[in-house]
Each structure stands twice: as structure tokens, then as C-alpha cells.
Amino acid sequence: MTAVPALEVTGLTVRFAGLTALDAVDFRVAPGTVHAVIGPNGAGKSTCFNVLSGVYRAASGSVRLGDEELTGLPPHRIAALGVARTFQNLALPPTATVADSLLLGRHRLTRTGFVAAGLRLPSALREERRHRERVREIAQFVGLGDALDRPAGSLPYGAQKLAELARALCMEPSLLLLDEPVAGMTADERRRTAAVIAGVRDSLGISIVLVEHDMGVVMRLADTVTVLDFGRRIADGTPAAVQNDPAVVRAYLGEDAEEPS
């Protein structure tokens, strides 16, 4: 396994027509840790996520993964550097089987060219078998080992979200970006997904950045947390530290939180 590099975000600034959605934000994600980005509505979480994955351009600042500068690179180049992401809304092909959906995640790791694959050459068949084995392992890892031959769209919502997570893992990333991984889930599905995410960190050792509204999940799962409000970083630290930070309480509850009762 190659060493997982640290993610270093420095002075990250994003502007939309006069609105500063991210204002000189700094944070660091140590290798093999879970880092949550939280904040009230409109704080800049999705913007941050979209800059990390290359969907939005930063006005200034830097995002470095080890020695690689990610700012300015298009999404596919960032993905090629080992950054995988999931989406807030389901993005699996609904009629493809879970196995085939996960195989799509291995596209960038596929060596055999189209011609060899099209001709069904032995080398192409061997490679496909290797990828299918890895897909099976990853599906088992997230608890979908029995669902490989089912159409992804026929699974319950929580299982479809896990299949997306599995597809991202199929890229063998060193950094996984999760956009609200438990949004819309039942309590059971949330628990199961949180356990899978903790397992990804603990067993695969990769780094995870997640944007999430569910505070219970954030507090249980994250090693470190960055809190944004109106595009600025207002707190950064362990879940316990940021939870008790007066600026964070104020941001979530409004100015009234400061008034003596």
C-alpha cells in the first residue's frame, strides 16, 4: 500500500459574483484520519467540497495533497491523483448491477486498451477477472457482498448510498470526499454507514473529508472538525473542542445564544 499523503488547505478563497463563499480557509487532514467540515446553511461547506474535487475554481489559496497542488486541476486529473468522491444525490446507473457499477469505479486503474478488451484477449480477460475479484472484496467490506448481481436501483436507499461509497473505494483512493453520506437515511442506515466509514479509515488507512449535517455522526466519526460560518473558519479542532466553542454555539443558535437568560 502506498503512503497516504496529508491534505493541506491554505487560504482557500472562492467568490461568486461579489459573494465570498469561502474566505481564506485553512485546514489540514492528517493521513488516515476523518475530517468533517460543518457549519450552518450557506456556510460554504458544499463550495469547499466542490473546490477540493475540482468542480469549482478557487480565486486564491491552495489545496495540496502531499506534493501535488490540486487547485486549478480539472476533476478527472484530481481523481487520477487518488481523490474519489461521492455525491449528495444518488449517481449510480439504476439498471446496471451493483458489480458493474463498481467496475466503473475501476476505470482509471484499467491498463488494457479498448482493442484488447474488445477482442477478449487473454490479458484483458485476466485483468477483468482481477478487477471483479477486487469489486467483490470491496462490496463485502461495505456489507453488499450479497447484492452484487442485483440492479443498483433496486436496492433500498441506504444500500444504494453504500454502493456509491463502494464505487468510490474501487478507485483505490488515498483521499475520499463524502458529501453528506448519511443524508436522508433511517437511523439504522446511518449507524451502518458510519460504521463502514470508520472501517474505511481503520482498515484501509485512507483519509476522509466529509461534509455532513448530522452532528451525531460527525461527533462520533470525525477525528478533527473545521467549522465554517459565512465562508470563514470559526473553529477547528477535535469534535469535543469545537462543540463547546462559544463561536460555534453562536453560529448554530444565532446571536441569542450569547444573551444571558
Across the chain, which distance is largest between two alpha carbons, in Å? 76
Q: How far is the CB of 233 from ligand ATP (least distance, A)?
A: 12
Q: Which of 26, 47, 24 is nearest to 35 (CA)?
A: 26
Q: Under the criterion CB under 6 A, does residue 41 sit at the interface with ligand ATP?
A: yes
- What are the grid coordinates assigned to 115, written together? 482493442
Parallel, antiparallel, or unpaired: how do β-strands 224-229 and 232-237 relate? antiparallel
How far is the CA of 88 from the CAs of 49, 210, 213, 222, 237, in angstroms?
11, 11, 12, 19, 25
Q: Under the criterion CB under 6 A, does residue 42 sit at the interface with ligand ATP?
A: yes
Compare residues 44 and 173 and give the one whose CB is closer to ligand ATP: 44
Q: Under the criterion CB under 6 A, does residue 181 sit at the interface with ligand ATP?
A: no
Q: Which stretch binds ligand ATP (CB under 6 A): 41-49, 65-73, 76-84, 163-171?
A: 41-49
C-alpha 199/C-alpha 206 separation (Å) is 10
Compare residues 106 and 233 and give the one whose CB is closer to ligand ATP: 233
Q: How far is the CB of 94 from ligand ATP (least distance, A)?
A: 25
Q: Binding residues for ligand ATP, how many (CB under 6 A)? A: 11
The only residue of 9, 25, 47, 173 in contact with ligand ATP, by rule CB under 6 A: 47
Q: Which stretch binds ligand ATP (CB under 6 A): 37-45, 148-156, 200-208, 247-255?
A: 37-45
How far from chain centre, in Å, is Cα 250?
A: 27
Reduced to 3 states (helix: H, G, I; strand: E, B; else coil), residue 37 is strand
Q: Under the criterion CB under 6 A, does residue 45 sit at the interface with ligand ATP?
A: yes
Q: How far is the CB of 218 from ligand ATP (least distance, A)?
A: 13
Q: Which stretch binds ligand ATP (CB under 6 A): 43-51, 101-109, 184-192, 233-241?
A: 43-51
End-to-end CA gap in the chain: 55
Annotate each residue in 1-30 with x if it binds ligand ATP (CB under 6 A) or - if it does not, as one string.
Answer: ---------------x--x-x---------
Q: How far is the CB of 6 from ligand ATP (least distance, A)?
A: 24
Compare residues 45 and 106 and give the one whose CB is closer to ligand ATP: 45
Q: Which of 239, 94, 83 is nearest to 169 (CA)?
A: 83
Name the residue with cell 489540514: 28
C-alpha 148/C-alpha 146 separation (Å) is 6
- What are the grid coordinates assigned to 26, written together? 485553512
How far is the CA of 55 from the CAs of 19, 25, 37, 66, 138, in angstroms?
18, 17, 17, 20, 27
Q: Which stretch binds ligand ATP (CB under 6 A): 44-52, 150-158, 169-177, 253-261?
A: 44-52
Q: Under the criterion CB under 6 A, does residue 44 sit at the interface with ligand ATP?
A: yes
**Which residues of the chain form contacts with ligand ATP (CB under 6 A)?**
16, 19, 21, 39, 41-47
